[in-house]
Structure 1
């Protein structure tokens, strides 16, 4: 039996790289896609493409489609700029729309022919707890709320084709970028930890484990769902 082929965007570091390692360990043939290749060894094949550019995204996806029939897609790539409403800029808005929404649409469309031909596919979109609201994340949270909308609508559209679409929405996760902004032991890091019910920051491997479930054969009856991997931060939040 051939290995399932799993395409992961934004796989050069952080959650994406952790997910690539996790899926490779589970026997998947992993393909990474992002603007730059990982600095450390990558457990699979890698294609570079600038997801903020529609034409280059299309080129990279066409290159992948020539060689692979993708079984699983994780739309992990994301861009965040922290700006309050008064400072929010149109360039930042347009970049986040491009990476967090438009690229997600392109990647999902690109894998559909192979998935429909096999009548089996898994799409996992990476959202964020920020979709529920967080200061300075108006644009970012808005794009991640749109990811939830994509997930639910596409789940309905693709269910009869054997394709599931789900969303994993992380809270604070200990990536390189997180630690750059919140050094261990710093006042801001300790203040954030104090708000998390489980009393710690999450690990990229924990997000990877949630994604792995949605990609498993055992999750075939689960679609259109949002799983918050947030240490309990979303408990009690009102979701309309």
Structure 2
């Protein structure tokens, strides 16, 4: 039986590439902006690129915030990707202060623009970087240590509880958050759909973990 996953459509980009990656893995994928469908989903995936405020506006306009929260309260697993990972937190400072979904305690802050010696860093952080983790997690099963994954971002997730920090990458000597998780809610700052076999294994693990 195919694993079922509902990809949340809230008017942002990068939805179809995620859907194609999941379908490649044999999942039955539903792309939906229906509050009822999302509230009743077996698994949820919240992708996205763009600004935090625009993302939350898209969720509010489609009346999806409460259905997402209701689904999580009922134990539905959710994976947020890139902007979708940031929206899981309480708030963001990107272009002003914006409230998030509040599913993982924490905030979204700008990544450093200089290294430890004061030399400027190129922001946004774009390209491949090694994913490091000091704790085991089912979504990392089968991934080689320091697997390279693909990033595009200017802001990072800062969970309030360090136990919710699952993975990180190096950026000019700084540790940038790459993966967060709290219960059945997971967020990855990198793009698994653009990260080759490593990213596909990560998505496969999500489908298996949430079974």
**TM-score, normalised on structure 2?**
0.42
More helix, by proportion: 1
Larger Rg: 1
TM-score normalized with structure 1 length: 0.38
Q: Greater share of strand residues, 1 or 2?
A: 2
